[in-house]
Amino acid sequence: MAASATVKIAISQLCSTSSKAHNLAVVRDLVSKAASKGCKMVFLPECFSLMSTSSKMTIEESEAVPDGDTVREVSSIARENKVWISGGSIHERADEVEEGKVWNTGFVVDDMGEFRGKYRKAHLFTIETPSVTLGETNTTLSGSSLTCIRNTPVGTLGLSICYDLRFPYLSSSLRYNGGADVIIYPSAFTVPTGMDHWEVLLRARAIENQCFVVAAAQAGRHNEKRSSYGHSMCVSPSGSVVSSGGGYSSFPSPPDDLPPPLKDFNVYADVDLGEVRKARERIQVEKHRREEDLGQVDVL
């Protein structure tokens, strides 16, 4: 059995704006801080390079992955700082499939700046309530396959994005079909749904899959129309919150009373894959799974 070794990671909590240049400068600064503290990998949130203010902007600013400027810039940052980077997500141009549409795509680059793979968000978020209205399907296409990346500094990394968090069988595929040790949920959760569900869902995904869960989150007010919940988190395979970035904890009278944007910062955590092994030895759910779990139901 491999000796356990602790790897330091950074989870960047951002309040991204509609300026790519600004957002990428923030990322560059936070990655260099993380590297100087000995981190081997940095995790960025969903839409780290751009929180658009309109569907038009989302489409116009979309890029190729891996051949676009943002992946290129993140690769240079990774190479210069000798750290792996999980690029939570950016808008990937999907014109070849449907004119004027994008995918919401996460990617990973290694510490030499090499592109290691990508994942297109499968579940698209649409909500209409008195306090929040969002329609991701207006601009975005669903991805149609899942991705794990092997041999990262934190073992096998299972990729997913934000709203995917609500679909537990996706995370189970990452673990059982992909061998994930760590599952990521780069996010831009809304404040009210984050308050109700964020932590409990992240902890549930960690517990049921006996994986670390790493969730880099957008936090604060991005523009007049959009705020995110924050509370970036690393959860251990036994379900304890090992570190948390904080964020909004109350939602008085939305959205005008929200406090100003939180500053961009890193949350640090130690990932010891020995804990994955221990959690799996202690409660042997892999062995106890049954075909019926995802099978037919007698409805009587």
Instruction: Give the nearest distance from C-beta 32 to ligand KGT in angstroms.
Output: 26
By beta-carbon proximity to ligand KGT, the closer residue of 45 and 237 is 45
The reply to whether 63 sits near ligand KGT by the rule CB under 6 A is no
**Spatial strand order in the sheet of 212-215:** 148-152, 155-158, 182-184, 212-215, 233-235, 241-244
Tokens describing residue 256 = 């005008």
Residue 190 within binding range of ligand KGT, rule CB under 6 A: yes
Which 234-253 residues touch ligand KGT, going by CB under 6 A?
none
> For residue 39, how far is the Cα from the chain centroid?
18
Triad 178, 182, 185: Cα angle to 5°: 100
Q: Which two tokens stand for residue 128?
A: 């209409």
Phi, psi of 11 (to 5 degrees): -115, 115
- Residues 112-171 interacting with ligand KGT (rule: CB under 6 A): 125, 134, 136, 162-163, 166
DSSP 48: T
Q: Counting Cβ atoms within 10 Å, is residue 149 exposed (0-12), middle (13-18) or buried (19+)? A: buried
Spatial contact of 6 and 273, defined as CB atoms under 8 Å apart:
no
Q: Which is nearer to ligand KGT, 166 or 225 (CB)?
A: 166
Question: Among candidates 266, 191, 260, which has minimal Cα distance to 221?
Answer: 260
Q: How many residues bind ligand KGT, per CB under 6 A?
A: 15
Active site residue 278: no
- List the interface residues with ligand KGT, window 8-27 (CB under 6 A): none
Is residue 162 among the annotated active site residues?
yes
CB of 262 to ligand KGT, least distance (A): 16
**Minimal distance, residue 90 CB to ligand KGT, in Å:** 9
Q: What minimum distance in Å lies between the beta carbon of 25 and ligand KGT?
A: 20
What minimum distance in Å lies between the beta carbon of 103 and ligand KGT?
10
Using CB under 6 A, which of the segments 19-27, 31-39, 148-156, 183-191 binds ligand KGT?
Answer: 183-191
Q: 270: how many CB neighbours lie within 10 A of its CB? A: 13
Nearer to ligand KGT (CB atom), residue 134 or residue 206: 134
Rounded distance between C-alpha atoms, residue 90 and residue 63, angstroms: 8
Contact in structure between 38 and 8 (CB atoms under 8 Å): yes
Closer to ligand KGT by CB, 46 or 264: give it.
Answer: 46
164 or 275, CB closer to ligand KGT?
Answer: 164
C-alpha distances in Å from residue 199, one per residue of 84, 95, 110, 147? 26, 36, 29, 24
In the complex, which residue's CB is closest to ligand KGT?
A: 193
Active site (annotated) includes residue 121: yes
Active centre residues (catalytic):
46, 121, 162
The residues of the shown chain that bind ligand KGT, judged by CB under 6 A, are 46-47, 52, 58, 104, 125, 134, 136, 162-163, 166, 188-190, 193
